C-alpha cells in the first residue's frame, strides 16, 4: 500500500493535523496555518506569538501526538457556508484568510474533525487515523514566511515524516542519518572546497583552489566531448538591456526573479538569468545559409537569479548559477542527429561518474497554457518530435506532464545517488518559440528564408547544484581523476625527507596531483589527517622503503595505503605511477 503515492500523501497530511492538535494542546493560543504533505514528509506552520520553540521540544510534541492518537477514530467532514466558517475560525487569522479566498473562488468550504480538533481542510486523509498514523517522526524546526512572502509574518515550521509501516520509517530515518553524514555544506567546509561570506552575501559561494579544480576538471571533460561533436566556444556579457528579455519572453515570466540595474542615464539593465537570448544574437549577427547549419555554441558561465533568502540552501539553491550551457541552431531535419549527439555526450559523462540514468520526456500541461510561450499546436508538434526520436532509438522513457520549460519540451536525464535519492541531471530542450520571437532563419536550397529550431543542452546544468549532488554521492571521496589531491607522500621521520621529496617530485612530473606532508607529526596522525581529507592514496616512506630504494639503485619504492585503509604493500614508484595514471586516464569511478 505504501507504493501508492496518494495514500502516502494522505498519511502524511493526516499527520500534519495530528501535529497541529498536539501543538495547540501544549501551547494554547497558538494558531496553525497550513500543513501539506511534501516529498518525503509533511510540515505544519504555526504562529506561536512570542513563544520560541526549538528541536529540543520535538520529543515532547511527539509524545503528545502519540497520546492523542487512540482517540482519533475517523475524519468527519462537513461542508459549511462562508458565514459558518467565519464563526468557527474567528480566532485564527490564517484560516480566515484562506476561507475568504476559497469562497471568492467558489470553492467548497470543508471542515474535518478526527477527534476534538476542528480544522478547515479539503479531503485527502486516512480512514482510520488511530491505526494508520502510528509511524511518524518529527525532524526539524525552521522559519517560514506566511505564504512564502517575506512581507508577511515569519511563522514557525515544524517538519516531520510518516510512513505506513515501521520498517519503512526506520529505513527512511537511516537514509536521513546517512545524508547528514554526507551533507555537502559540512563536507565542503571540511575538505576546503568552498566557503560563504556574510560580506559577499547569502547564496553566493566562493570556491577555493580545490573546489575550483574539481569544477574545472568536470567542465573540461564536457568540453572535450562537445568539441568532438563540432561545438564552438562563445562568450557573452553578464548583463543586458531589458529589451532582450522582453523579446524572449523571460521578462514577462521571470521579472520578479531578475537582478535589475539602473544606469546613470536611466536605462534599465538586468543580470542575465540564462544565456539563450544572448546566444540568439550571435546567430542573428549574420545571414546564415543552410550550408552553415548546424551552428553549435557552448559556454560555461554564471547566471543570476534573485532567490528569496529563506529558500537558499548551501550549493543546492544559490543566487549565482554556473551553467555548462550549449545551444544548437539547426533545421528541423537536423533535430534527430543533434539530439543523438547530445545524448552521446550525456552518456559518456555520466558513465565516468558511475551515475545510472533514466529518461523523462518532460511535457507541457495543456490545462495551464498561460504558463508557456507558443500555441498548443506548436507544443504538440515539438513534443511529438522528441517522443518519436526516443521511440525510434529504443529509449526506455516515461512522460512527465507539466515538467517542460516554459518555451519548449525537454528530454531530461534522471539519476539517483548512492542513497537512492533521485536527481534531474542533464537536459536537452527543443525550442521552437525563441527562433520565432527573434526571427531566426537560414536561407534554404531554394533561396528562401526557412525558420530554424533551437536545442538547449546542459550536461551538469547548475554546476553548484551538481557539485552538491556529487559531494554527497561520494561522501567527499571523489574518484581519483577528480580528487584535488590524488596522492599524499608521507615520510615517517625527518631522515626520510630527501627520499620523500624525490617521490613527490616524480609524481608531480608525471602529472599526478601530489602533496608532500613534511609536518612534524606522528605517521599515524598524518595518515588519519589524509584519510579524513579523502585523499585516494598515501605513499608512506620509512626505513624499509629507503633500504629497498638504495639496494635497487634504479627504482624508488613506496608503501601504498588507500583512504579506505587498505594496505597495498611495498611497490616500485614506477608501478604505482602506472596504476594510478591508468585509473586517472580511464576515469575510473
By CB atoms closer than 10 A (0-12, 13-18, 19+), residue 501 is: middle
Instruction: Indicate where the chain has its CATH 3.30.930.10 domain(s).
Output: 194-474
Catalytic-residue membership of 305: yes
Q: Give CA–CA dist 404/372, Å, rounded.
A: 9
- pLDDT tens figures, 197-208: 999 999 999 999
Q: Give CA–CA dist 552/48, Å, rounded.
A: 76
- pLDDT tens figures, 425-460: 999 999 988 999 999 999 999 999 999 999 999 999
**Choice among 324, 325, 412, 515 that is catalytic:** 325
Cell of 142: 525552521
Local structure of residue 307 (DSSP, 8 states): -
Catalytic-residue membership of 295: no
Q: Give CA–CA dist 532/455, Å, rounded.
A: 43
**Choice among 12, 272, 410, 577 that is catalytic:** 410
**Choice among 95, 125, 456, 465 that is catalytic:** 456
CATH architecture of the region 194-474? 2-Layer Sandwich (3.30)
Supply the angle between the helices 335-352 and 209-228 in degrees, to the nearest 10. Answer: 140
- Report whether 261 contacts 267 (CB < 8 A): no
Q: Give CA–CA dist 66/332, Å, rounded.
A: 61
**Choice among 182, 226, 327, 530 that is catalytic:** 327
Please tell us whether the domain made up of 5-169 is placed in CATH 3.20.20.80.
no
Give the 3-state secondary structure of residue 79.
strand
Give the number of other Cβ atoms within 10 Å of residue 446's Cβ: 8
pLDDT, mean over the chain? 92
CA distances 126 to 7, 9, 114, 254, 367, Å, are 8, 9, 10, 39, 29
User: Is 279 assigned to a binding site?
Assistant: no
Q: Give CA–CA dist 540/523, Å, rounded.
A: 9
Catalytic-residue membership of 320: no
User: Is 17 assigned to a binding site?
Assistant: no
pLDDT score at 417: 83
Q: Give CA–CA dist 465/425, Å, rounded.
A: 9
Catalytic-residue membership of 539: no
Q: Which residues contact 587 (CB under 8 A, 6 or more apart)?
A: 221, 352, 479, 481
> Which residues face 362 on adjacent strands?
400, 410
Q: Pseudo-torsion of CA 55, 60, 66, 71, nearest 10°?
A: -120
Closest CA to 329 of 456, 461, 458, 460: 456
Instruction: Indicate where the chain has its CATH 3.30.980.10 domain(s).
Output: 5-169
- Report whether 499 contacts 541 (CB < 8 A): yes
Q: What are phi and psi of 166, to 5 degrees?
A: -65, -35
Q: Give CA–CA dist 503/506, Å, rounded.
A: 5
Alpha helix positions (H), 157-208:
166-181, 184-190
Closest CA to 298 of 342, 229, 225, 234: 234
Count Cβ neighbours within 10 Å for each residue of 268-306 and write b for 16 or more, e otherwise.
Answer: ebbbbbbbbbbbbebbeeeebebeebbbbbbbbbbbbbe
**Choice among 21, 305, 504, 561 that is catalytic:** 305
**Choice among 44, 295, 323, 429 that is catalytic:** 323
**pLDDT by 10s per residue, the chain, length 589:** 445 888 999 999 999 999 999 999 999 999 999 999 988 899 999 999 999 999 999 999 999 999 999 999 888 888 888 889 899 999 999 999 988 888 887 778 888 889 888 888 876 898 999 999 999 999 999 988 898 877 889 999 999 999 999 999 999 999 888 888 889 999 999 999 999 999 999 999 999 999 999 999 999 999 999 999 999 999 999 999 999 999 988 888 778 889 999 989 888 999 999 999 999 999 999 999 999 999 999 999 999 999 888 788 899 999 999 999 999 999 999 999 999 999 999 999 999 998 989 999 999 888 888 878 888 888 888 899 899 989 988 889 998 888 888 888 999 999 988 778 888 899 999 998 899 999 999 999 999 999 999 999 999 989 999 999 999 999 999 999 999 999 999 999 999 999 999 999 999 999 999 999 999 899 999 999 999 999 999 999 999 999 999 998 889 999 999 999 999 999 999 999 999 999 999 987 7
Give the number of other Cβ atoms within 10 Å of residue 375's Cβ: 11
Cell of 482: 577528480
- Report whether 385 contacts 335 (CB < 8 A): yes
- Report whether 577 contacts 480 (CB < 8 A): no
CA distances 162 to 21, 45, 165, Å, are 16, 17, 9
First CA to last CA distance, the chain? 37
Catalytic-residue membership of 267: no
Fold of 487-585: Rossmann fold (3.40.50)
- pLDDT tens figures, 77-109: 888 888 898 999 999 999 999 888 888 877 788
User: Is 327 assigned to a binding site?
Assistant: yes
pTM: 0.81
**Choice among 15, 121, 276, 442 that is catalytic:** 276
Instruction: Indicate where the chain has its CATH 3.40.50.800 domain(s).
Output: 487-585
Query: What kind and span of H or E run contains 327?
Result: strand 320-330
Give the number of other Cβ atoms within 10 Å of residue 575's Cβ: 13
Cell of 494: 625527518
Amino acid at each position: 500500500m505504501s507504493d501508492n503515492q496518494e495514500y502516502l500523501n494522505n498519511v502524511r497530511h493526516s499527520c500534519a493535523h495530528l501535529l497541529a492538535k498536539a501543538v495547540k494542546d501544549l501551547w494554547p493560543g497558538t494558531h496553525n496555518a497550513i500543513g501539506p504533505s511534501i516529498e518525503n514528509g509533511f510540515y505544519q506552520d504555526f504562529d506561536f506569538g512570542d513563544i520560541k520553540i526549538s528541536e529540543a521540544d520535538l520529543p515532547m510534541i511527539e509524545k503528545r501526538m502519540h497520546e492523542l492518537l487512540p482517540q482519533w477514530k475517523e475524519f468527519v467532514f462537513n461542508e459549511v457556508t462562508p458565514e459558518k466558517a467565519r464563526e468557527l475560525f474567528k480566532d485564527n487569522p490564517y484560516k480566515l484568510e484562506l476561507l475568504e479566498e476559497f469562497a471568492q473562488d467558489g470553492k467548497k468550504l470543508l471542515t474535518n474533525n478526527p477527534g476534538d480538533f476542528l480544522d478547515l481542510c479539503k479531503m485527502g486523509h486516512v480512514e482510520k487515523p488511530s491505526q494508520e498514523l502510528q509511524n511518524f517522526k518529527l525532524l526539524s524546526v525552521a522559519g517560514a514566511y506566511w505564504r512564502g512572502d517575506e512581507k508577511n509574518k515569519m511563522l514557525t515550521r515544524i517538519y516531520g515524516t510518516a510512513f505506513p509501516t515501521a520498517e519503512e520509517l526506520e529505513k527512511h530515518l537511516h537514509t536521513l542519518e546517512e545524508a547528514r553524514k554526507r551533507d555537502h555544506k559540512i563536507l565542503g567546509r571540511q575538505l576546503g572546497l568552498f566557503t560563504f561570506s556574510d560580506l559577499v552575501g547569502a547564496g553566493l559561494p566562493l570556491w577555493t583552489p580545490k573546489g575550483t579544480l574539481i569544477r574545472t576538471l568536470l567542465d573540461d571533460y564536457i568540453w572535450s566531448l562537445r568539441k568532438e561533436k563540432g561545438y564552438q566556444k562563445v562568450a557573452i556579457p553578464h548583463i543586458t538591456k531589458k529589451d532582450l528579455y522582453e523579446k524572449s519572453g523571460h521578462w514577462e515570466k521571470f521579472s520578479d526573479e531578475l537582478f535589475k540595474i539602473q544606469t546613470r542615464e536611466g536605462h534599465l539593465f538586468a543580470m542575465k538569468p540564462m544565456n539563450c537570448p544572448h546566444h540568439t544574437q550571435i546567430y542573428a549577427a549574420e545571414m546564415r545559409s543552410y550550408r552553415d547549419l548546424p551552428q553549435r555554441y557552448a559556454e560555461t558561465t554564471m547566471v543570476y537569479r534573485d532567490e528569496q533568502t529563506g529558500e537558499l540552501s548551501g550549493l543546492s539553491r544559490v543566487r549565482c548559477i554556473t551553467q555548462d550551457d550549449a545551444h544548437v541552431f539547426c533545421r528541423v531535419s537536423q533535430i534527430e542527429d543533434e539530439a543523438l549527439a547530445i545524448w552521446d555526450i550525456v552518456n559518456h559523462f555520466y558513465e565516468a561518474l558511475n551515475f545510472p540514468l533514466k529518461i523523462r520526456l518532460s511535457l507541457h500541461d495543456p490545462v495551464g497554457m498561460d504558463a508557456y510561450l507558443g500555441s498548443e499546436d506548436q507544443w504538440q508538434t515539438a513534443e511529438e518530435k522528441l517522443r518519436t526520436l526516443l521511440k525510434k532509438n529504443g529509449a526506455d522513457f516515461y512522460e512527465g506532464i507539466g515538467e517542460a520549460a516554459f518555451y519548449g519540451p525537454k528530454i531530461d536525464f534522471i539519476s539517483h545517488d548512492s542513497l537512492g535519492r533521485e536527481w534531474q541531471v542533464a537536459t536537452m530542450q527543443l525550442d521552437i518559440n525563441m527562433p520565432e520571437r527573434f526571427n531566426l532563419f537560414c536561407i534554404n536550397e531554394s533561396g528562401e528564408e526557412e525558420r530554424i529550431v533551437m536545442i538547449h543542452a546542459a550536461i551538469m546544468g547548475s554546476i553548484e547544484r551538481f557539485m552538491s549532488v556529487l559531494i554527497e554521492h561520494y561522501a567527499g571521496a571523489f574518484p581519483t581523476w577528480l580528487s584535488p589531491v590524488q596522492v599524499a607522500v608521507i615520510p615517517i621521520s625527518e631522515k626520510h625527507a630527501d627520499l620523500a621529496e624525490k617521490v613527490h617530485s616524480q609524481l608531480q612530473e608525471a602529472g599526478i596531483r601530489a602533496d608532500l606532508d613534511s609536518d612534524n607529526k606522528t605517521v599515524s596522525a598524518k595518515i588519519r589527517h589524509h584519510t579524513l581529507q579523502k585523499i585516494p592514496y598515501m605513499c608512506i616512506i620509512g626505513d624499509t622503503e629507503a633500504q629497498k630504494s638504495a639496494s635497487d639503485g634504479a627504482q624508488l619504492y613506496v608503501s601504498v595505503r588507500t583512504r579506505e585503509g587498505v594496505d597495498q604493500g611495498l611497490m616500485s614508484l614506477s608501478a604505482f605511477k602506472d596504476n594510478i595514471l591508468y585509473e586517472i586516464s580511464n576515469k575510473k569511478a
